[in-house]
Amino acid sequence: MTNPFFSPSTLPYSLPPFAEVRDEHYLPAFERGMEEQLAEVAAIAANPEAATVENTLVPLEASGQLLERVANVFFNKSSADSSDFTNELEEQLAPRLAAHGDAITLDPMLYARISALYEAREAVTDAETRYLVERHHTEFTLAGAGLPDADKEKLREYNQRLSTLTTRFEKNLLADTNELAVVVDDVAELDGLGAGEISSAAAAAAERGLDGKYLVTLVLPTGHPWLAQLTNRGLRERIMTASRARGIRGNEHDNRELVLEITRLRAERARLLGFDSHAAYVTADETARTPQAVADMLGRLAPAAARNARAEQAELEAIAGHPIEAWDWAFYTEKVRTAKYDVDTAAMRPWLEAERVLRDGVFHAATKLYGVTFTERDDLVAYHPDARVFEVHDEDGTGVGLYVLDLFTRDSKRGGAWMNPLVSQNRLLQHPVVVVNNLNVPKPAAGEPSLLTFDEVTTFFHEFGHALHGLFARVTYPKFAGTNVFRDFVEFPSQVNEMWMLWPEVVTNYAVHHETGEPLPQQLIDRLHASEQFNQGFSTSEYLAAALLDQAWHRIDADDTVDDVARFEADALAAVGLNNPAVPTRYASTYFAHTFSGGYDAGYYSYIWSEALDADTVEWFTENGGLTRANGDRFRQRLLGVGGSKDPLEAFRDFRGRDARIEPLLKRRGLNQPEASR
């Protein structure tokens, strides 16, 4: 059988031919793809003519198309539908792909050509092309292209070892997350859950051969959505304890030694590259620029967040009648929310049916803002039966791209929610665009509706914001496609998209009771808005704890000796006043996928850094009429559409007319009050 990766797809929008792909196709395609790209790069580097954009950067941008085709498909599969085969192949490929990347970025002849272009960049008249020259030069320089040969060899060793370790971390985390799922024997222990959640737990147990029992599968963060509903305190504690045990049980999936080795090697590599720490190395090529800028922002927020959390804790303990533990917080938060605002988010689930949220909420808001429409393509096959394919059209009927939605959790899917490209748009190669959203919503029993939590709806809108960023970007060069922007900017468009979840003409369109057809009462929507700052002390504190922990791990010097993960965590959180036992960090180190396997190393601060831009942008939309085509067109053309083809803060200024202000963020999170306002 012909390997389907060896030729470009002939399907609409170059959708990968998933129906033809077999496990045995991946490795040969990776090997040929790497071989082809190295030959392409060698030809560029050996060109005897003086370097030009046309003979250096254009062919460099066009190189590696086979490798990109197979990598996009394989790494989507390894995240969303893994198996023993994908786990083993990913671990086998990790050091080889790292070495392949180094063979390109550390090529001295190629770097000399890029440097020559950089020195003459002012002669390049096209702004996107000039930015391309600047980005390539910066990235090659930061990657070590200018190092002496002996240091380059050491750098290669670091990169290959780190790729192996981070891959192993992710594999261990998925295995421990599955193993630590909590088995419940008696349905009475699930008191507080809805019928749909109970049937989902029964179905999850049955899938593992545990007929007659119930299974609470863990989610990526420390907390779990069901902790807000379960009345059984003992079960809540079991779930929280299981979640926090990931990676520290002394078994084959223990991640503690990996955390120590990963952070040590990152620090050593940073020193080799001329930086004081890995955080300094990372932020040098982000909008933050320095770890101190990150520390200043997080440090400004942490004291007020911790203070507000303590005030919230006092309220919870008053209603609970006993000291609050970590597994109690969500449960009593809902009781206080109900008492203060008459809002019970768990009771909203019958109004949050997934299909209506998708079509009449997520898609509806995009249609109103951007004029795009969505048509399901049942004739197009994705990589898993649960993954659905939608074609996106502009108002004039022009095709925009394909959107793939993979909504439900399964044992083979890693935790969390994310967007990734399957085909990245660019004009140079005339590539269309195909993007995927993965979420982890529990799959309902057969014939039952999928009823979402309030937080899951928020996540849905958030991840679709990433998808729109990928779908709408119209750039010339592959490097700038879609979400290929600075990491501390990439969350901004997705966070902005969350604002439409409770926008009047959106929420009234999708929040309809799945049985009665009754709309969500307007009084409840009003109370939701009134309670927006409620529990922000907790949510800000648990996020900041993770962000500051990430920074602490990556600000260590190469000479620092860390040998105890738990002690390092405790000291790091105590140093910033975020060590309240009732408010655990969103992720502890051994299950902190973002920073130890997910590409957010020294970058987890990005969410709140981007949120400053988001809060300022939400203010702009609100002041300018909200959900209108004029507003959507401006945001699409000046921000989403440019992808990574210009400095992101310049793009923000093009849209907003000025730099962002932090005050809207402080107001949103209740951090602008001298005392906690409750």
What is the C-alpha radius of gyration for the chain, rounded to an integer number of angstroms?
A: 25
Whole-angstrom distance, CA of residue 79 vs CA of residue 384:
12
Contacts of 15 (CB under 8 A, 6+ apart): 9, 380, 389, 402, 422, 423, 434
pLDDT of residue 530: 92
Whole-angstrom distance, CA of residue 202 vs CA of residue 196:
10
Is 670:536 a contact under the CB 8 Å cutoff? yes
Alpha helices by DSSP H, listed for 4-107, are 23-45, 58-62, 65-80, 84-105
Work out the mean pLDDT of the chain and round it to a whole number.
Answer: 97
pLDDT of residue 677: 39
Angle at 371 (CA atoms; ends 369, 377), nearest 5 degrees: 120
pLDDT tens track for 196-220: 899 999 999 999 999 999 999 999 9
Average pLDDT over residues 269-288: 98
Q: Is 463 a residue of the active site?
A: yes
Confidence class for position 678, pLDDT limits 50, 70, 90: very low
Domain boundaries, the chain: 4-146, 180-244
pLDDT of residue 130: 98
Residue labelled with tokens 């993954």 = 387
Whole-angstrom distance, CA of residue 246 vs CA of residue 265:
23
| Six token digits for residue 443 | 């799959």
Is the pLDDT reported for residue 675 higher than 80? no
Whole-angstrom distance, CA of residue 536 vs CA of residue 549:
19
Of 463, 491, 569, 611, the catalytic one is 463
DSSP class per residue in 488-499:
HHHHHHHHHHGG
Contacts of 473 (CB under 8 A, 6+ apart): 425, 433, 480, 481, 482, 483, 640, 641, 642, 643, 644
Whole-angstrom distance, CA of residue 166 vs CA of residue 225:
27
Confidence class for position 674, pLDDT limits 50, 70, 90: low
Is the pLDDT reported for residue 381 higher than 60? yes
pLDDT of residue 673: 72
C-alpha distances out from residue 459 to 11, 355, 408, 511, Å: 30, 15, 13, 16
pLDDT of residue 346: 84
DSSP class per residue in 557-617:
-TT-----HHHHHHHHHHHTT---TTS--SS-GGG-HHHHTSS-TTTTTHHHHHHHHHHHH
| Six token digits for residue 47 | 């060109």
Residues in the chain, overall count: 678
3-class SS of residue 417: coil
548 vs 346, which has greater pLDDT?
548
3-class SS of residue 322: coil
- Let me know how many helices (H) and strands (E) the chain has, helices first: 26, 7
Average pLDDT over residues 70-81: 98
3-class SS of residue 2: coil
Confidence class for position 1, pLDDT limits 50, 70, 90: low
pTM over 0.95: no
- Residue 438 pairs in a beta bridge with 406, 418
Hey, how many other C-beta atoms are within 10 angstroms of the C-beta on 518? 11
What single DSSP character describes residue 51? Answer: P
Whole-angstrom distance, CA of residue 162 vs CA of residue 192:
44
Is 495:488 a contact under the CB 8 Å cutoff? no
Average pLDDT over residues 380-384: 98
Q: Of all residues in the chain, what percent carry a pLDDT higher than 90?
A: 97
Q: Which amino acid is at 419?
A: M
- Residue 305 pairs in a beta bridge with none
- CATH for 4-146, options being 3.30.1120, 1.20.1050, 1.10.287, 3.40.1350: 1.20.1050
Is the pLDDT reported for residue 107 higher than 90? yes
Instruction: Give just the sign of the alpha carbon dihedral 659, 665, 671, 673.
Output: positive
Whole-angstrom distance, CA of residue 484 vs CA of residue 461:
20
Q: Of all residues in the chain, what percent carry a pLDDT higher than 70?
A: 99
| Six token digits for residue 103 | 């063979």
pLDDT tens track for 299-351: 999 999 999 999 999 999 999 999 999 999 999 999 999 999 998 888 899 99
Angle between helices 256-272 and 565-575 (to 10 degrees): 70
The gap from C-alpha 499 to its chain's centroid, in whole angstroms, comes to 18
Whole-angstrom distance, CA of residue 485 vs CA of residue 497:
17
Which of 185-192's residues contact partners 24+ apart within 8 Å by CB, and which partners? Answer: 185/213, 185/214, 187/214, 189/214, 189/230, 189/232, 189/234, 189/235, 190/214, 190/230, 190/232, 190/235, 191/230, 191/231, 191/232, 192/229, 192/230, 192/231, 192/232, 192/346
Is 371:394 a contact under the CB 8 Å cutoff? yes
Strand order in the sheet with 418-423: 373-376, 387-393, 399-408, 434-441, 418-423
Question: Which element (helix H / strand E) includes 505?
Answer: helix 504-510
Whole-angstrom distance, CA of residue 612 vs CA of residue 488:
11
Whole-angstrom distance, CA of residue 322 vs CA of residue 316:
9
Q: What is the dihedral of CA 185, 187, 188, 191, to 10 degrees?
A: 130
Average pLDDT over residues 346-363: 96
Which among 669, 496, 488, 498 is positioned nearest to 594, based on CA atoms?
488
Is 366:248 a contact under the CB 8 Å cutoff? no
pLDDT tens track for 233-257: 999 999 999 999 999 999 999 999 9
